[in-house]
Structure 1
Amino acid sequence: MSVHRSSAWPLTWVALTLITYATLHPWSGWHWPEPQAFSWVLPKLPHEVLNDLIGNLLGYLPLGLVMCLAFLRSGVGALRAALMSVAFGSGWSYSLELIQYALPARVPSISDWTLNTLGAAWGALAAVTIHALGLVDVWHRWREKWFIPQAGHGLALIWLWPLGLLFPPPLPLGQGQLWPTLRVHLVEWTRDTPWQSWLLPDDPLLLWGQLHETAVRPEWLGWSEIATVALGLMAPMCVACAFARPRVTRMLLLTGAVLVAVATTTVSTAVNFGVQHALTWVSVPVVWGLLLGSLGGVVLVDRARTTCAALGVVVLLGLIGLIHLAPVDPYYAQTLQAWEHGRFIRFHGLSRWFGLLWPYVALTWLLVRLFQRDGGA
C-alpha cells in the first residue's frame, strides 16, 4: 500500500460539511418539536419540486464517491467500501432529516432521504468502477512521482481554493477578511449582555463603516491593491510548491493557478453582476498584481519545499493583513446580502466562508509542514 496520505478523507469531511450546511440552512428558529409532530418514520410530502429532487440526488453523489475512494485508499475491499459508504450516507441523511423537525423553515421528507441514499449509492458505484478500471492505481503512481507522501491535505487545499473565489472578495483574489464578519457575529451572539458594549461603537449605525475603515492613505491604495492581488495569487502557489516534487509539476500547477484565478473571478463577477460586467474586475492595479504574482511563482519553481512553505507563511500573513485594510466597496454589502440568502450558486453563502477561512487553514498547514521532517525538502 502506498504511504501517501490520501486527499479523499479531507474531501469527505468537506462534503459532509457542505451537505449539513445546505440541509439545515438557515440555521435559525431552533425549537423542540412537539411529540405529535415528531415521527421516526419520515413523512411523504404531498408535493415534490423537481429541482429539489434532482438536488437531493446529486448532492450526495460526491459524498459517496469520495468516501468510497477514501475507504478503497485505506485498503478496504471494494464491496465493503461501497456498502460502508452507502450506509454512512444513508444514516447521515436520515439523521439530518430528523433534525429538520426542530427547524421551522425545513420539512423532513422520506423522498429526500431515499434520493440522498440513491445519490450516495451512485457515487459509491462510480468509485468502485473507477477502481476496477485501474484509474485509482494510475493516479497513485502519478502522485507518488509528483508529490510528497504528506500531500493529501495540501491537494485538498488546492482543489478547494477556487470555491472561495466564487464569492467576490473585497479585492480580486483577496481572501481572508475574517474580522468584520466575526465581529458582526460576536455582536449578535453577545446581544443583551455586558460584553456587547466591547464590540459595538458608540453609534451602532457606524459598525459596518468601522469594520471596513481603511488604514491606507489614498495615494497608496493602488499599491495596496497590487500587493493584495499578487499575494492572493502566490498563496496557492506556495502551498502547491510545498508538496510538489518535479520542476515540471510545479510549473503546471503554477500555470493552472493563474488560469483558475482569472477564470473563476470572471465567472463570479458575471454571475453576481451580469455577463456584461464579467471583466470589470480587470484594472491596471489588478493586471500588475497578476503579473507580480506570476513572477513570484516563477521564483518558487526551483526553491526547496521547506523554503516554499516558509515563503507561504509570509505571503499568507501579508495577504491577511492587507485585505483587512481594504476600503469599502459600495456593492459589497448588497452582494453579501444576496449570497446570504442563497442566490446564484446555491451554497447559501458557504462559498463565502471558504474564502474567509482558506488562508487561515492554508497557513496552519504550512506551519505544520515547516515542523515536519521531510527528506529532500
Structure 2
Amino acid sequence: MATHRSAAWPLSWVAGGLIAYATLHPLTGWHWPGWDAIHWGLPKQSHELMSDVTANLLGYLPFGMVLCLAWLRSGKGPWSAGWRTLFIASLLSYSLEQLQHLLPGRVPSVTDWTLNTLGAAWGVLGALTLHALGLVDMWHRLSERWFIPQAGHGLALLWLWPLGLLFPPPLPLGQGQIWPQLRLLLIDLTQDTPWQDWLLPDDPLTLWAAMPGDWSGSVWAPELEAATVALGLLAPLCVAGALASQRTLRIVLMASLVLSGVLFTALSSALNFGPVHAFSWVTLPVASGMLVGASAAILLINRGRSVCAALGMVVLVGLLILVHQAPSDPYYAQTLQAWENGRFVRFHGLSRWFGLLWPFVALLWLTGRLLGRDAPVPVRAGGSH
C-alpha cells in the first residue's frame, strides 16, 4: 500500500530555501575576506532595528512549525520532532550567518542567530500544541480519506500558486514566462564573448517588450489573451483534480483556487499601482478567460485523476507556449524595475521565482502522477463512510 506523503516536507524545503534567499540576497558580490575576518563566534551588533528583530522572529516561525509538523507526520514523537527541528533551524541560521562574511553589505550577528532560533522555537511550540490537541492526527486521517497517497507535493503546489501571482506576470494568471530571465543569465555568463552580441538586443527593455511570435497587433489578440488567462486558471484546477479523490472536496478546492487567484491578482495590482487600481486588470478578455477556465473545471469534477493529470499537462504546455508569445503591457518593464528596487525586494524576488517556476514544477508533478503505477483512486461523492 502506498505511503501517504505529507505536504509538510516539501513546504519545509521551500521555507528553508526562502530563508536562505532572504538572508543572502542579492546573492552577488561574493568575495573571500580572509581567515582573519571570519570568527566561529558570531559578533554582537551595537544596535538592532525593531524591524530586523521582528523579521528574524517571524521568518523562522513558520519554518519551525512546518518542519516540526513534518517530523510528527513521519512518526516521530513530540520531543524527538521538537529537538530535531530546533537543531536544524539553529544550524541553518548559524550557517547562513557565517556565509554573510562572504557578502558585502551583510553583517553576521549573534543576535540574529538567537532570534532566528527563538522564532523556530515558537513555531515548534505551535506545532506541538496542534499535536497535543489532536489536530495533526485528525488532519492525517482526513487527508488519507480526501487525497491520493502522493498528494503531499501537489498540495504544496496549490499552497504556493497564489504567492506566485503577487509578482505581476505579463498577463493575469499568465505564469511561467522564464525565457527573459534565462536570457539575462546567459548574457551574464557570456559577457565579453562573441555570443553575447547574439543574445543582447540593442534595447535591453525589449527582453520583456518583444517575444518570439508576439501577437500584438493581431486581430486574434483578445482571444489569445483570454485563452492564456483561461489556461493560467485551469492549470491549478487540474492539479486539484489530480490529487483530490472526493467530488465535494474537488469542488471546494477549485472554488478556493478561483477565489484566491482573483484576490491575489487584485492584491498584486494594488501593491503596484495603488488600492484604487486593485481591479484595473479586469478587462473583457481577462474576464472571459477566467469564466472559460472556471467553467472548464466543471468537466473535471467527475473525471478520474489520470484524466485530470493528462489534461493538466496539456493545459500547462499550452500556457507556457502562449505566455512566451504574450505582448507585454507598456508599463511592464517599468513595473519590474520598481519591484526590483522596492523596499520589499527580497519578498518580490521570491514571488517572482514562484510564478516563473510554478508551471514547470506542476508539469513535472503531473507527469509523475500520470506515469505512476499506483492503483486507481475512484472519485467518491464525498460523504463519510
Question: Taking structure 2 as the reference length, what is the TM-score of the superposition?
Answer: 0.94
Number of the residue aligned with 1:305: 305
Show the 5 A alignment for 1:1-20: 3-20=3-20
Number of the residue aligned with 1:74: 74
Number of the residue aligned with 1:375: 375
Query: Take 1:191 and 1:247, find their aligned partners in 2: how far apart are those partners?
Result: 54
Match of 1:349, as an amino acid?
G
Contact 2:210 2:328 in 1 (8 A): no
Show the 5 A alignment for 1:22-171: 22-171=22-171
Number of the residue aligned with 2:207: 208
Show the 5 A alignment for 1:262-273: 262-273=262-273
Number of the residue aligned with 1:231: 231
Q: Deviations over 1:253-280 (max 9, x none)?
A: 1111110011110111001110011110
Shift of 1:343: 3.2
Query: Take 2:357 and 2:177, find their aligned partners in 1: how far apart are those partners?
Result: 9
Q: Deviations over 1:293-318 (max 9, x none)?
A: 01111011011110000000000000
Establish whether residue 291 from structure 1 lines up as the match of residue 291 from structure 2: yes
Shift of 1:35: 3.0
Q: Deviations over 1:180-225 (max 9, x none)?
A: 1110111012111243234234x35575267535532521110011
Query: Take 1:53 and 1:112, find their aligned partners in 2: how far apart are those partners?
Result: 8
| Comparing 341-350 and 261-270, the one that deviates more | 341-350
Shift of 1:36: 3.0
Query: Take 1:374 and 1:223, find their aligned partners in 2: how far apart are those partners?
Result: 39
Match of 2:214, as an amino acid?
A
Match of 1:247, as an amino acid?
R
Contact 2:209 2:327 in 1 (8 A): no
| Comparing 104-113 and 191-200, the one that deviates more | 191-200
Change (3 A) 1:50 1:272: same
Q: Deviations over 1:142-196 (max 9, x none)?
A: 1111101110000000000001001111100000001111101110121112432
Change (3 A) 1:60 1:21: same
Query: Take 1:299 and 1:182, find their aligned partners in 2: how far apart are those partners?
Result: 36
Q: Deviations over 1:228-256 (max 9, x none)?
A: 11000000000010010111011111111
SS of the counterpart of 2:343?
coil
Shift of 1:91: 0.6
Shift of 1:7: 0.8
Number of the residue aligned with 2:328: 328
Contact 2:205 2:333 in 1 (8 A): no
Unaligned stretches of 5+ in structure 1? none
Query: Take 1:214 and 1:310, find their aligned partners in 2: how far apart are those partners?
Result: 26
Query: Take 1:277 and 1:22, find their aligned partners in 2: how far apart are those partners?
Result: 29
Change (3 A) 1:116 1:251: same
Match of 2:159, as an amino acid?
W
| Comparing 87-96 and 322-331, the one that deviates more | 322-331
Number of the residue aligned with 2:276: 276
SS of the counterpart of 1:41?
coil
Shift of 1:345: 7.4
Query: What is the RMSD computed on CA atoms of the aligned residues?
Result: 1.7
Contact 2:2 2:374 in 1 (8 A): no
Query: Take 1:321 and 1:254, find their aligned partners in 2: how far apart are those partners?
Result: 24
Contact 1:341 1:348 in 2 (8 A): no
Contact 1:66 1:127 in 2 (8 A): yes
Contact 1:180 1:211 in 2 (8 A): no
Match of 1:175, as an amino acid?
Q
Match of 2:114, as an amino acid?
T
Q: What fraction of aligned residue pairs are identical, expressed as a percent?
A: 61
SS of the counterpart of 1:300?
coil
Number of the residue aligned with 2:248: 248
Number of the residue aligned with 2:186: 186
Match of 1:135, as an amino acid?
L
Contact 1:5 1:151 in 2 (8 A): yes
Contact 2:25 2:346 in 1 (8 A): no
Contact 1:22 1:347 in 2 (8 A): yes
Query: Take 1:140 and 1:53, find their aligned partners in 2: how far apart are those partners?
Result: 34
Establish whether residue 174 from structure 1 lines up as the match of residue 174 from structure 2: yes
Q: How many pairs does the alignment contain?
A: 376
SS of the counterpart of 1:349?
helix
Q: Deviations over 1:323-358 (max 9, x none)?
A: 011112122112212222353475141100100000
SS of the counterpart of 1:31?
coil
